[in-house]
Each structure stands twice: as C-alpha cells, then as structure tokens.
C-alpha cells in the first residue's frame, strides 16, 4: 500500500510514517515545514518528503491519505482530497488498525511526563528481552529511532489527549484500546480545544472505558482529577502509585550526578533505583514505569536495574553546552507545572549556591491564549532570573510577571533577548531554556555569545 502522510514531521505522524515504512508500505509525506530531526530520520529510511500542502500533490495518487491533526479545513491539499472523494483516515485510526490491531499495548497518558515515561517503559521491556514495539513522542537516547514495530508482543505508545483530526474530535488515545493504561497525572491544558478540566476528564474516562477487565489501569493515586475519572466507573483492576499503599519512593538522595531512591510497593521494598535524570517529576515517571512494567510481567528488580542505564530523552533538561563557565540547558517545558518541576529538578541537582537563569517561550496554544499566565510567577519561584520571550502573545506578559519584580524581564526581540541574558550571566550560572518549539535556535545563539565572551577574556589575558 502507498500512503501519503499529511503533517509528517510532527513527532506522532513521523513515528507513524516510520512504522508504516518498516511494515513494508510505500510512504511519502508532506508538512508546512520539513525540518530536522524528524526530516533527517525519515529521509534516512527512504521516505520522500514534500514541503508544503500544494494541491498538485494529488498527482502522487496514493492508495490512502493519512491526515494529522495539524491539518484543518482550508488546507489546499485537504480540500482537493475532499473534492476528489479520495480515501483518507486519521493518523491514530490508521495506527490502531494497521499496527496495534490485537497486539497488547501499554498506553502512557497524562498532562506531563508522557514522553519520558514511554521511553522508560520501552527501555525496561527491551532490557527484559521483550523486544517491544514503541512510538515515543521524542528522541530517546537508548534507541536509534523514535518508533519501531518490535519483534515482541508488547507495544508501548505515548497516548496524547489532544484531538485526533479536524473530522474526529475525540482524543487520540481513544483509538488505541490498550491492555494497560498508565495515567500519569491530569491538569488543565489545551485551552484551544477543551473548555475546562472536566472536559479533559471526560476524554480520560473514554480511555478507561476501552481497557479490558483482563488488563490494568496504572494510576497516579495522588491526583484528584484522576480519582474523579475513576469515580465515573472502572471495570479494570487499578494499580496506584505515589501513594503509601501503592508504588512509591522513600529515602531520596539527589546529587550532581544522579538521583537515588528506594522503590516500595506498599510495605514491600523492591530495591534502590538510580536515575541520571533529576527531579521529583522524573522519579514519579520512573515509579509509574516500574508499576506498569510489573503488570507487563517484568520483575521489579530487573526493571530497576534497567533504569540505571536509562539515557533520557532529548530536550528534557538536556545540557546543550558550556562556555565561559556558564552551562546552557534545553527543556520542552511549556505548561506552568512543567516549568516549575523542571526548574525544581535543576535546583535539586545543582544546589542553592548556583544561579538559574530561566529563559522561556510561552509558545503552546494554551500559553498563547494566556489561560495560565497568572501561574507563571509561582512556577519560576526557584529561578534567580527569568527572561520571557513575549513576541506574538495576545496578553501582557510583563503584567503577568510583575509579582517577580526585577527578577523577571519580558523581551519581544530574539536578538535583544540573547543580549539581555548574556549581560546578566556570570560564571557558575545555569541558563535553562524552556519551549515546546525551536525557539529560533536561541540555545546555539546563547552558546556562541558566551564563546565570544570567552575569546575576549582569553585575548585580554
């Protein structure tokens, strides 16, 4: 079968395309911007990419058009597909029908931590010799690709609550029908498509309804919103974590190199886990992955040992470089809770003596709408200075950050933002860049500016 994928450079649709190619299909695709790293990964496996959504792509005449949720009515190619009454399907539906099928799946859902937890689970199952298939919404250090079919039975999938397509407004994860559903957390997000938290809880309950009684729900027991979801009805055994009578941590030790903690299930201690990743949020992701892996048949001791080698995920507190004694980190955080946990994770790793300069871009649809602007000062409480890129916002970022006083600055020009951060930075500082996009390559620009400072100091010396 020849499929043509619309929106192919997104993490989900790019992963789908890779799976289809591995399964023997001919795959082509297009996107508004064909950009790395996904474009490089797809071209490397023989997938032809086209820039833009021109209607002239109808001449490709695939057997099926697979449509990503970034595509809407008015898109020239989509309008031509509709006019021609050509066969089309959403990405999640195609994945469910052609990859998942009757295969047992572990779906990792939640507002935060989906990518990291999915990667952890894939790592654990791989180390256990189960050769899982997976679709991870990011680049995991432990695998050369973000998606593969796998030779084993299990398939681990990052399960997004965002809508499926312009013609299917159910959450993506409703299509997957997993054997194990891992519900990591639940907060309000995606203000562009959900009116309130209750609307998202409804979608999560739709997911709960699809899990068979022979499967398992692995649920964050400390999350009130998830308890409300379960209160609507659950027909599957529930395994809770982050609560005393379920899977939880004790005796946490944070250092500059790693995080160590004991893993308990009720009053049973399974062992001591060592993670290279920092912060309470990553420990929570690990506990969730361990609980789900146990339900999939992996011995807890083996799973704990596997996490000691977990290499992490790109753009999750990733050190991009160090110049002039200043370290530059990159993180995908964009929701206030994610910003807070990321800053807290770095603070736990470096201690109180070093300064954190937070540089962030409110780029997600929710943040652009200003729905959570009031939460930003609290989310940045552990940062010494905060620099907000305020271009293209529909709300007053300076007013929102006013409670931070002189600790916060809003800059609307990227060059001026880099200059302001560099002027404030001093040896020993950590610059933490947070955005769910490319942020204009600001990481490289900061490192280059710091390198220029370093060269200038060397020249004087």
Query: For residue 366, what pLDDT is reported?
Result: 65
How many structural domains does the chain have?
A: 3
In a domain, 23, yes or no: yes
Q: Same domain, yes or no, for 295 and 375?
A: no
Please give the Cα distance from 227 to 240 (Å, whole number): 10
369 and 447, same domain (yes or no):
yes
Domain with residue 416: its CATH number is 3.90.190.20
Over residues 62-77, the mean pLDDT reads 96
Q: Is residue 312 part of a domain?
A: no
At residue 305, the pLDDT reads 96
Q: Are residues 280 and 368 in the same domain?
A: no
* CB distance 41 to 11 below 8 Å: no
Q: Tell whether 339 and 422 lie within a shared domain.
A: yes
Q: Is there a domain that residue 95 lies in?
A: no
* pLDDT at residue 368 in the model: 61
317 pLDDT more than 80: no
Nearest to 362 by CA among 348, 350, 373: 373
- Domain boundary (56, 90, 124) is at 90
* DSSP letter (8 states) at residue 221: T
Rounded to whole angstroms, what are the CA distances from 197 to 93, 188, 226?
25, 5, 11
Residue 131 in this model has a pLDDT that exceeds 80: yes
**Residue 15 in domain:** yes
- Is pLDDT at 391 greater than 80 in this prediction? yes
Bridge-based pairing state of the strands 216-220 and 238-241: parallel
Residues 157, 158, 163, 165: is their CA dihedral positive or negative? negative
Is residue 174 within 8 Å of residue 203, measured between CB atoms?
yes
Strand intervals (E) in 209-306: 216-220, 238-241, 247-254, 259-265, 268-275
Same domain, yes or no: 85 and 162: no
The CA-based dihedral angle spanning residues 36, 76, 93, 121, taken in that order and rounded to the nearest 10 degrees = 20
Identify the DSSP state of 140: B
401 contacts 388 by C-beta, under 8 angstroms: yes
Helices 224-231 and 197-209, interaxial angle, to 10°?
Answer: 50
Closest of 343, 361, 219 to residue 287, by C-alpha: 219
Could you give the CA distance from residue 112 to residue 341 in angstroms, rounded to a whole number? Answer: 10
Once rounded to an integer, what is the mean pLDDT over residues 228-233? 97
List alpha helices for 96-242, DSSP H: 114-127, 197-209, 224-231
CATH for 54: 3.40.50.720
135-185 pLDDT per residue, tens: 998 878 788 888 999 999 999 999 998 899 999 999 999 999 999 999 998
Percentage of the chain lying above the pLDDT 90 cut: 60
β-bridge pairing 385-389 and 168-171:
unpaired
Instruction: Give the integer Cα–Cα distance in Å for 54 and 76.
Output: 6
Q: Is residue 96 part of a domain?
A: no
Instruction: Based on the fold, state whether residues 286 and 323 are members of the same structural domain.
Output: no
Q: Are residues 178 and 286 in the same domain?
A: yes
Residues 55 and 118 in one domain: no
Of 307, 341, 360, which residue constitutes the final position of a domain?
A: 307
The two tokens of residue 389 are 């890129």
pLDDT band at 191 (very low <50, low <70, confident <90, very high): low
> Around Cβ 253, how many Cβ atoms within 10 Å?
11
- Assess whether 302 and 334 both reside in one domain: no
Mean pLDDT along residues 21-29: 95
Does 28 score more than 90 pLDDT? yes
> Given a cut of 80, is residue 83 above it in pLDDT?
yes
Does the pLDDT of residue 104 top 90, yes or no?
Answer: yes
pLDDT of residue 188: 74
pLDDT band at 374 (very low <50, low <70, confident <90, very high): confident
Mean of the pLDDT values across residues 404-409?
92
Burial 298-317 (b: 16+ CB within 10 A, else e): bebeebbbbbeebebbbbbb
- What is the rounded distance in angstroms from the CA atom of residue 97 to the CA atom of residue 79? 25
Residue 137 lies inside a defined structural domain of this protein:
yes
3-state secondary structure at position 16:
helix
Does some domain include residue 313? no
| Residues 338, 196: Cα–Cα separation, whole Å | 19
More confident residue, 290 or 144: 290
Q: Which residues pair with 158 in a beta bridge?
A: 108
CB 137 within 8 A of CB 114: yes
Q: In b/e form, how buried is each residue of 424-434, taking b as 16+ CB within 10 angstroms?
A: ebeeebbbbbb
Q: Give the pLDDT band (50/70/90) at residue 443.
A: confident
Asked whether the predicted pLDDT for residue 254 surpasses 90, the reply is no
Please report the pLDDT score of residue 26 as a whole number: 96
> Tens digit of pLDDT for each residue in 414-433?
999 989 999 999 999 999 99
> For the residues 120-140, what does the mean pLDDT come to?
94
Q: Does residue 196 register a pLDDT over 90?
A: no
Mean pLDDT in the chain? 90
pLDDT mean over 60-74: 96
108 with 80, same domain: the answer is no
Length of the chain (residues)? 461
* Distance in angstroms (rounded) separating the CA atoms of residues 441 and 7: 22
pLDDT tier for residue 370 given thresholds of 50, 70 and 90: low
Two tokens at 89? 């399907």
What crossing angle do the helices spanning 114-127 and 300-307 adopt, rounded to 10°?
A: 120
Q: Are residues 212 and 292 in the same domain?
A: yes
Q: What is the mean pLDDT of residues 333-356?
A: 84
Please give the pLDDT value at position 151: 95
* Boundary-marking domain end, from 307, 338, 355: 307
Whether residue 62 is found in the same domain as residue 112? no
DSSP 422-457: HHH--TT-EEEEE-SS-GGGHHHHHHHHHHHHHHHH
Question: Is the pLDDT at 334 greater than 90, yes or no?
Answer: no
pLDDT tens column, 34-59: 766 778 888 888 899 999 999 999 99
* 460 has a pLDDT exceeding 70: no
- Quickly list DSSP for 36-64: TTHHHHHHHTT-EEEES--GGGGGG--SE
Q: 185 with 195: CB under 8 angstroms?
A: no
pLDDT, residue 369, reads 65
pLDDT value at residue 17: 95
Residue 368 lies in a domain: yes
**Full domain range(s) for residue 33:** 2-90
CATH code of 174's domain: 3.40.1190.10
Greater model confidence, 216 or 146? 216
């Amino acid at each position: 079968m020849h499929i043509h994928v619309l929106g192919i450079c997104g993490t989900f649709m790019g992963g789908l395309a890779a799976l289809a190619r591995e399964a023997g299909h001919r795959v082509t695709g297009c996107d508004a911007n064909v950009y790395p790293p996904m474009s490089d990964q797809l071209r490397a496996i023989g997938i032809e990419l086209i820039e833009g959504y021109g209607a002239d792509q109808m001449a490709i005449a695939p057997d099926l058009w697979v449509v990503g949720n970034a595509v809407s009515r008015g898109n020239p190619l989509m309008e031509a597909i509709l006019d021609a009454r050509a066969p089309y399907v959403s990405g999640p539906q195609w994945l469910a029908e052609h990859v998942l099928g009757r295969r047992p799946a572990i779906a990792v859902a939640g507002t935060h931590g989906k990518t990291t937890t999915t990667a952890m689970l894939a790592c654990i199952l791989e180390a256990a010799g189960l050769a899982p298939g997976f679709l991870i919404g990011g680049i995991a250090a432990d695998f050369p690709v973000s998606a593969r079919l796998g030779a084993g039975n299990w398939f681990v999938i990052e399960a997004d609550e965002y809508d499926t397509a312009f013609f299917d407004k159910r959450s993506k994860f409703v299509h997957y029908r997993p054997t194990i559903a891992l519900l990591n957390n639940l907060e309000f997000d995606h203000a562009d498509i959900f009116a309130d938290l209750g609307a998202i809880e409804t979608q999560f309950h739709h997911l709960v309804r699809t899990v068979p009684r022979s499967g398992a729900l692995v649920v964050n027991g400390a999350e009130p919103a998830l308890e409300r979801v379960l209160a609507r009805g659950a027909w599957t055994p529930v395994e809770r974590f982050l609560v005393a009578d379920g899977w939880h941590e004790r005796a946490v030790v944070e250092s500059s190199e790693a995080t160590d903690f004991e893993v308990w299930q009720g009053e049973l201690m399974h062992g001591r886990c060592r993670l290279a990743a920092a912060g309470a949020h990553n420990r929570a992701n690990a506990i969730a992955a361990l609980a789900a892996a146990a339900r999939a048949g992996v011995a807890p001791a083996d799973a704990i040992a596997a996490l000691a080698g977990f290499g992490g995920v790109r753009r999750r507190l990733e050190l991009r470089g160090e110049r002039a004694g200043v370290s530059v980190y990159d993180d995908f955080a964009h929701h206030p809770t994610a910003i807070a946990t990321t800053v807290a994770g770095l603070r736990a790793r470096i201690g109180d003596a070093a300064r954190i300069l937070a540089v962030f871009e409110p780029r997600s649809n929710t943040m652009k709408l200003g729905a959570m602007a009031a939460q930003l000062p609290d989310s940045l409480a552990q940062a010494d200075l905060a620099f907000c890129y305020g271009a293209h916002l529909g709300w007053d970022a300076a007013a929102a950050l006013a409670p931070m006083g002189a600790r916060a600055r809003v800059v609307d020009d990227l060059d001026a933002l880099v200059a302001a951060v560099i002027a404030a930075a001093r040896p020993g500082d950590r610059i933490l860049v947070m955005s769910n996009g490319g942020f204009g390559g600001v990481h490289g620009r900061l490192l280059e500016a710091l390198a220029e400072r370093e060269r200038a100091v060397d020249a004087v010396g």
